[in-house]
Amino acid sequence: MKLGGAYGLRTLARGALRPPGNDSAFLLDVHRRAVPTERMARYDDHYPVDLVIVGAGAGGATLAQRLARRGWKVVVLEVGPFWDPDEDWVSDEAGSHDLYWTDQRVVGGKDPVELGKNNSGRGVGGSMVHYAGYCPRFHPSDFETRSRDGVGQDWPIAYGELKRHYELLELELPVAGDYWPWGDPHRYPHTAHPVAGGAELAWAGALELGIEMRVGPVGITNGSFGNRPHCIYRGFCLQGCKVNAKASPLVTHVPDAIAHGVEIRTDCMVTRVEVDDSSGAVTGVRYISGGSERLQRADAVAVAGYSIETPRLLLNSTSRRFPQGLGNSSDQVGRCVMVQGAPQVAGRFPEEVRMYKAPPPEISSEQFYETDPARGFARGFSIQTVGPLPIGWAEHVMADGHWGQALREYARDYNHWYTLGALSELLSLTDNRVMLASGVNDQNGIPVARMDYSQCENDRKNIAFAKRTLREILEAAGAQDILTIDRYAHLVGGCRMGTDPEHSVVGPDHRVWGIPNLLIADGSVMPTQGSANPAITIMALASRLADKLERKLLDGRAGGRRLSARRREASRDENRGRASGVRPRSSPTPGGGESALRRDHTSAGRRSHAAGQLPDDQVG
């Protein structure tokens, strides 16, 4: 049965059926919230694993799980901790700051972006640990903005290449929501969550203006799912889900990855990617753990540190062969980094609406997602409800200019307010970029990242129109008072994919141009931002990449056949280990040889470079 055809049955069965190829929800312990790690594989640094992944977020954890299922030996290095929801997460805004990447960074430009809790995560699960749970797909138009609307860049892949991966991930997370009429219309495996009174008021206001709304989609269980419980609507989605109802790689992909032989090393800061200058291939990564520098050798490296730390790592990885950093021969690393305009407008109602009582994105609309020439700007925005908690609400009030006694009165009135947010697609601009900050180093002596960001006129028009629309909805709903805050959300870009090395960092297969065994597997490869939260698209890209890697390695060439045998041997070892209850120990690479991933593309590179051409698989 095709995946799409199974949706109706799975919607009826909800959490009783396992998603294909991922047992994570059923591997969690029913008596504790922490992910079981007692039987996690352990590899020696000197043993060259098949792949070392930098970062255990949406891209890195998904890629690790997919490849582990195919028999790959994978080590993931994560700068943050292995979170234990029972011990580490609290129902308190101020007590949740450890979830965010708050190390020093430098920002600049005409419209600088605040970096931290709103767009950067640390620890296993990455920033999805503290996202709101909103999981819409990108639209087909997002992949063709240059062709359709004359702005941004076309992707070197189409929506159709991610559709199957979207469907699979919506089963794995799982995603709950109404039938979705926008973009590529589709259903979700879990039915929509109930909504609270504030959402009902906003919905009525939208309908009065002819704006269509839907409930969801959120990666939050509606009913039990494996050993994950139903959402209890505690309202702390942005502070980590204490009960594991909200999806993040920590609970959706890491347990299955560990069960299939992945090692995740936490509190490891990767400082550089090592390169063999004679061949141009990468050989592993250097990292700091426990105050000591270590080297993990690998046949291939995938960087999944997201849109600030991935460019930073590539730029810091200089060598004789790559003096400007990896993938940066055309000065593209760090360019075209993007955020979304994320203004929020709050309305005060006579009755109590308690906006914290439900997943923050209760209802949403993508009616304004596509370009409408009548609006006077290209591309568009989406609308969703949000539920700032008291500290976030105080920041909202202060941003609208209220201090002192007025701030205290607005804080006391918190339960009467309800908030709508927009996600405006801001355009890809080459001068918006991540660089290394001059003269500013972190605690390890490594230059920190600097991000410069400025809006263009199209961006300003988009945000202004979105704010007016939110205000009109709340006014139509009967709001007595309205407050507005300007903000940003969701970093992507910085190492975008394309069809030539002059204007991109990676090709359609996520390989860095000119470096055959270096991959990028996070949101930094995205050429455009869209008006949708990027989490599930990042996961879909990583899932697609895993398929591409498997096909490339098992394509019938001599090296591919050797590695295929290696995968079968690993699978047999794993099965024997499961039968005996013992995790198989690491073993040297059969034949002591270079992996097919590195060898085949290195030789292809030598042949085609001699002819003045790129390897065939690096041409989009």
pLDDT in tens, 330-364: 999 999 999 999 999 999 999 999 998 878 889 99
In this predicted model, what pLDDT tens digit does every residue of 32-52 receive, in sequence order?
999 999 999 999 988 899 999
162 or 566: whose pLDDT is higher? 162
DSSP string, 463-479: HHHHHHHHHHHHHHTT-
Q: Which of 84-98, 458-472, 570-584 is modeled with the greatest confidence?
A: 458-472
| pLDDT (average), residues 515-520 | 96
| pLDDT at 12 (0 to 100) | 57
pLDDT for 2 equals: 47
pLDDT at 165 over 50: yes
pLDDT for 597: 52
Task: Say if CB 337 and CB 551 are below 8 A apart.
Answer: no
pTM of the prediction?
0.90
Q: What is the pLDDT of residues 269-325, one digit of tens each?
A: 999 999 999 999 999 999 999 999 999 999 999 999 999 999 999 999 999 999 999
For the chain, how many structural domains are there in total? 1
Token pair for residue 503?
A: 């204007």
Three-state secondary structure call for residue 51: strand
Query: Quick one: average pLDDT of 161-167?
Result: 98
At residue 207, the pLDDT reads 98
The pLDDT score that the predictor gives to residue 117 is 73
Enclosing domain of residue 44: 4-618
The predicted-structure confidence for 360-405, as pLDDT tens digits, reads as follows 889 999 999 999 999 999 999 999 999 999 999 999 999 999 999 9
User: 604 vs 298, which has greater pLDDT?
Assistant: 298
Radius of gyration of the chain (CA): 24
User: How far is residue 39 from each of residues 46, 78, 259, 260, 539, measured CA to CA in Å?
Assistant: 21, 19, 8, 10, 25
Q: What's the mean pLDDT in 467-491?
A: 96
* CATH code for the domain of 282: 3.50.50.60
DSSP 490-519: EEE-SS-B-SSTTS-SB-TTSBBTT-TTEE
The mean predicted confidence, pLDDT, of the chain is: 88
